[in-house]
Structures are given as structure tokens and as C-alpha cells.
Amino acid sequence: MCGIIGYTGSANAVPKITKGLEVLEYRGYDSVGIAARTSDGVTTVKCRGRIGSLEEKLERNPIENCTCAIGHTRWATHGGPSDVNAHPHRAGRVVLVHNGIIENYKVLKEEMMKKEVTFLSETDTEVAAAVLNDCYAETGDPMTAIRQATAKMKGSYAFGILFDEFPGEVWAVRTGSPLILAKGQDGYYLASDMTALLPFTKEYYCLEEGQLAHLTPTSAVLYGSDENPKVPDWSITAMTPESAQKGGFKHFMLKEIFEQPEAIMKSVSPRIVDGLPNFSADGITADFWRQVKNIQIVACGSAMHAGLVGGRLLEEIAGVPTSSYIASEFRYHPPLAVDGTLVVVISQSGETADTLAALRYAKESGLPTVSIVNAVGTTIAREADRCVYTYAGPEIAVATTKGYCTQVSVLYMMAAAIAHATGRIDDTEARDLARSIAEDAPKAVLDMLERSEELRQMSARLAAREHIFYIGRGLDYAMSQEGALKLKEISYIHCEAYAAGELKHGTISLIEEGTPVIAITTEAALYDKTESNVREVRSRGAYVIMLCREDAPNPETSADEVIYLPTKSTAASLFAAMTAVQMLAYETADRLDLDVDRPRNLAKSVTVE
């Protein structure tokens, strides 16, 4: 949603803040700012635009002798992108940066205005600063003021805070939005996620819900619901600065697509013991699986699409009734929870507010929960009863690829594990399934990536169009959903996924001469049906690109272009198709010279509902 960062120590703070903000820009980039503590007090520099705009301001008017600062890069919620709405926000003796949303900010704003407080911006954050300053004016104590102020707030927040009377000190508090502390050789840091701090240190601590932190140049102290201070239990991250950089690729998205083979292997191999699917390392035993009679998958966006694909695999392989729900809808139409219901929430970032809210609803309803998360130590990972991590590594591009891909691979392995635990498949079948996921899938991705030039050529037929359709049946319809989202979110071309058999019931009226239709047909049993749907649209002028198995009967007679998929296993054809739709989206957006890694209007992690 937004990115916040802070530092206090013995080194020059300003370059640390700006360097960290460059990494955090993927969380939101419509405005940016820094509050720097010097002997003259706290200087705030902020503006609409990306980090480069702030750096230009700082070059013109450098901030000298600063060893304590906080910074922010914004994805607008309350109040559009503007200099005045940019963070940090000052109110009286308090300056803060905020990630999240204060849901009751209007009520609090009215209360402050009755106290003669005036506001410059349209943001909920400035209201939070005013409430905090009001409490601070009464108590004079930062920690007490933070406790009193946050007790008045509803919603989600991660704050980095400076108080005028406490030079060199930074306070932090989090509820509902992520916040990391870190310990460096030259001081202490806070940030929305660890990737921003990798250039400085590998020692980190994830603040827990409701936890407060007090940073000085030589110390970091935590305060929980009680008053007892404690020192963070520091962990060492496995990430490296390089893993958060592009590694020679033109875009993070392309790098992350190419990382998929390794990401799949890292994500599934911990779940294979003696060749058999096994989630005991995640605290999930065969007995646990045997109790599962019904699965509700809940997620947003691409994670939801991974759930659609995984849900079909769970039903087809494990025979467990599985439904997938959009997280923001889940609470308002809660599905009937029969005995043996398991709720599986999926989130790459582990901080998506809609998904977190659905998880909390499921837990309040007394349902067992498992989360599938990529970002280690995040809220969704920690609040679910059990967490199955995808080990895809940091995903920087806003459009997820390896995050989605590894979510599908883990769901695939879960289906194999459940089928084996319930005796639906024997050891031999289970071993073969596990092998296909761990070996055929990565190889299929690699082989498809070797055909990148072919896919780039195809993107020429897509880039100039206004409307594009994906069609498929069964598992392929589920896959089409992600293909459509990937394409539209980075190329800005309207793209829709449609059940192949449903198109003729109305929407086919939108097909015009040259309208691209991308047909996915990995399921051999459904090929003929989808092929006839292809003929229907082609006879009305559509330009058809068909993804089909190498053994499909004469696809060239019905499609304009064909992308052949391996037939070695379902996993092979599925992951090949997945890679093809990702590359078609990437190549189309790149051909249009768009900002592939940071598409307009989007953010990597949407931590507001």
C-alpha cells in the first residue's frame, strides 16, 4: 500500500532513507517525502511524484548533519497525489509517516477541529498526527501519547514517529499493517518490509500486532500490551541485496518469471519426504488431511486465481469439494461451513487487508485455517492456524508471477497429499504426482521460456488492440482468469476471461474482425469442445492464438497461431501454459513501452479494504 522507512544512528540518515524508498516504491509511488532531524529541529521535504522528484529537491537544498529521519512513499487513499497530501505529516510537536487506513478519521477530524486544530491536507494520516499531538500535549510522554492516540483509532496503521523534544529518537507502532525493525552496525531501522533494509543489514524483527518500538542511536526497545520493555529477538534474513535487484533483467517481472523453475522447486521440495507428498514440516499431518471434507479457498486477485486452479486440482485429484471465494466478498456471503471444512487463505504479501479480514472472520467462525504465503513472518502467515510458505523469494514487480506460480505448485502438492492420506491414490501414484510437480513443472517453465522470441512476435498481434479475450474450459478457464488479469494490469488493454462454452450466449457479439482470442486447451478431454468454440469466434473474425498440447489434432486448421504445450503430464502442460500467458502479457506491455514493474494505479500489497 505505502512504504515507510526510518533510521537513527551514527551515520548520515538522508541517503539511507532515499535508498530505502527506491526499493519501497513498488508499494506505492504517487508521492514521497522525508522528515529529517537536525540541530535545527525536524525538516520535512515532500512532493508529488516518485523518489527521483524528492532526490532533486534534496540536491537543490541538501539536508546536512542528519542522523535521524523517517521517509514515506505513497499510494493515495484519502486525498489524491499532491505535495500537501504527501507524507510525512506534522501536527504540533509530532511528525509521522503512515501505512494503512484510519477508518474513523472523519470523526476524529471533527473532534480535533472542535479543539481549533486546522488541517492542510485531505489525508487520514494528518488526522492521526493531530490526535497523537493532542495526546502528547497532555502527557508530554511519547509512549503514553501513542497508546492513548491509537486507542482512539480504528483501522490499520504502521507509524514511524518523531517528537520535537526527543532528538535522535524514533517511535514505531503497528496494527494491521506490516512493520519491520532492523539492527545495523551504525544504528537502528524500521521499514514496511525487509527488502528496503537489505543494503544496510540482515538482522531484522517483525513487529507484532499492537507492539510499540522505541529506537535510539544505540538501542531498540519493544513495548507490548503491558508496560514491560523487552529487546527484539533478532532474526537473520536469507535475502540478499542482489535478490532484491534486477540481476541483469530489463524488468523485475521478467526476472521473477525466469526465477519460477527454482521457486517451484524451493516451494515443493520441502513437502516431499521419501518421494511422497508430506506437509509435516508445516505442522500438517496425514491425520489432519483425513479430517478435511470440504475446502474454502479465500484470496484476492492473482492469489484468488491460483485458488481457482488449485481448487480444481483438489477436487479432481483429492476428491474434496473445494470452492474459491473473493476475500472481500467472503464475509458478506459466508458459505455454509459443514463439518470438516478447512479455510485456505492465499496471499503473496501476507498483508492484503481483504484477505486478512476474511481470515479473521473464518477464525472467529471457529473454522480451522491454513495460509499459503510468500513473505515470511507477515500478518496472514502468523495469524492462520498453520502456514505453508511458498519460497519464491522477494517479489518486487507489482504483477505477480512467481508468487502465483508457486501458490499453484503448493496447492497441487496439497491435492496429492490429501489424495494419498485418504488412500485415493497409492504410494506409486503419489510419488509420480509429486515428481511431476517437482520436476515436470519447472522443466516446462524453462522450455517455454526458451520460446520467448516466439511469444514476443505474437505480442505484436495483441499490443494494438483495445479488447482481447481469453477462453477455456475447466482448469483452462481457471487459468484464463490469470491470463486476462496479467495482460490487462500491465498493458492497460481491456482483457476478459470467459468460459469457452459460455461465450456464444451473448458476449460473442463483441467479437470483431481481428479481435484476439487466446484459447487455452491443456485438458485433452475438453479439446474438441473448446476447438469448436474457437471455430465459432474465428468465423466471426477473431484472431485466435491457441495454447494446446503437442498431440492436439491439427490445431493449425482452426487457429491463426498455435503455442504447443508438453504432454508429459498435467503439471507439464499446466505450467507451460501458465508461463506462456505470463510472457504474452509481459511482451505486450514491454512492446507498448509501459512501466511493467509499476503499472499505473496499482500497488504491490493492498493493505486497505
Which residues make up the interface to ligand AGP (CB under 6 A)? 300-303, 347-349, 352, 355, 398-400, 489, 602, 605-606
Radius of gyration of the chain (CA): 25
In the bound state with ligand AGP, the residue whose beta carbon lies nearer, of 77 and 348, is 348
Which three cell numbers, joined as nine digits, stand for 78? 484519502
Q: Which helix (H) or strand (E) holds 431?
A: helix 427-435
Closest separation between CB of residue 328 and ligand AGP, Å? 11
**CA pair distance 533, 214, nearest whole angstrom:** 63
Closest separation between CB of residue 398 and ligand AGP, Å? 5
| Largest Cα–Cα separation, the chain | 79
In the bound state with ligand AGP, the residue whose beta carbon lies nearer, of 337 and 602, is 602
Helix 260-268 with 441-449: angle, nearest 10 deg: 170
Query: Phi/psi of residue 425, each to 5°?
Result: -130, 150
Give Cβ neighbours of residue 119 (< 8 Å, ≥ 6 apart).
Answer: 109, 112, 113, 126, 127, 130
Say how many CA atoms lie within 13 Å of 89 toward its Cβ.
Answer: 27
Say how many CA atoms lie within 13 Å of 257 toward its Cβ.
Answer: 31
Question: Could you tell me which of 189, 422, 433 has the C-alpha nearest to residue 319?
Answer: 422
Distance of CA 481 to the CA centre of its chain: 17
In the bound state with ligand AGP, the residue whose beta carbon lies nearer, of 354 and 531, is 354
Q: Which helix (H) or strand (E) holds 296?
A: strand 294-299
Closest separation between CB of residue 596 and ligand AGP, Å? 12
Cis peptide before 261 (omega within 30 of 0): no
In the bound state with ligand AGP, the residue whose beta carbon lies nearer, of 69 and 484, is 484
How far apart, in Å, are the Cα atoms of 585 and each of 123, 165, 394, 596, 598? 35, 52, 21, 10, 14
Closest separation between CB of residue 302 and ligand AGP, Å? 3
**CA pair distance 17, 33, nearest whole angstrom:** 10
Query: Phi/psi of residue 95, each to 5°?
Result: -130, 135
DSSP 462-521: HHT-SEEEEEESTHHHHHHHHHHHHHHHHH--EEEEEETTTTTTTGGGG--TT-EEEEEE
Closest separation between CB of residue 507 and ligand AGP, Å? 23
Look at strands 467-472 and 516-521 and give their pairing: parallel
Q: Where are the beta strands (DSSP E) in 258-412?
A: 272-273, 276-277, 294-299, 322-326, 341-347, 369-373, 386-389
Q: Respond yes or no: is residue 604 known to be catalytic.
A: yes
In the bound state with ligand AGP, the residue whose beta carbon lies nearer, of 158 and 398, is 398
Among 2, 68, 387, 548, the active-site one is 2
Which three cell numbers, joined as nine digits, stand for 70? 523517517
Closest separation between CB of residue 110 and ligand AGP, Å? 33
In the bound state with ligand AGP, the residue whose beta carbon lies nearer, of 352 and 579, is 352
Q: Respond yes or no: is residue 548 known to be catalytic.
A: no
Which three cell numbers, joined as nine digits, stand for 596? 511493467
**CA pair distance 161, 175, nearest whole angstrom:** 15
Question: Could you tell me which of 29, 31, 35 has the C-alpha nearest to residue 13?
Answer: 35
Helix 475-491 with 301-313: angle, nearest 10 deg: 170
In the bound state with ligand AGP, the residue whose beta carbon lies nearer, of 259 and 489, is 489
In the bound state with ligand AGP, the residue whose beta carbon lies nearer, of 74 and 486, is 486
Among 16, 46, 255, 604, the active-site one is 604
Give Cβ neighbours of residue 318 (< 8 Å, ≥ 6 apart).
Answer: 414, 415, 416, 418, 419, 422, 424
Residue 52: CB atoms within 10 A of its CB come to 12
Q: How far apart are the first and last CA of the chain?
A: 11
Residue 291: CB atoms within 10 A of its CB come to 12
Which three cell numbers, joined as nine digits, stand for 300? 484476492
Query: Phi/psi of residue 531, each to 5°?
Result: -60, -35
Closest separation between CB of residue 598 and ligand AGP, Å? 11
In the bound state with ligand AGP, the residue whose beta carbon lies nearer, of 399 and 565, is 399
In the bound state with ligand AGP, the residue whose beta carbon lies nearer, of 480 and 558, is 480
In the bound state with ligand AGP, the residue whose beta carbon lies nearer, of 278 and 348, is 348
Closest separation between CB of residue 579 and ligand AGP, Å? 15
Closest separation between CB of residue 605 and ligand AGP, Å? 5
Cis peptide before 88 (omega within 30 of 0): yes
Distance of CA 502 to the CA centre of its chain: 31
Closest separation between CB of residue 195 and ligand AGP, Å? 14
Catalytic annotation, residues: 2, 604
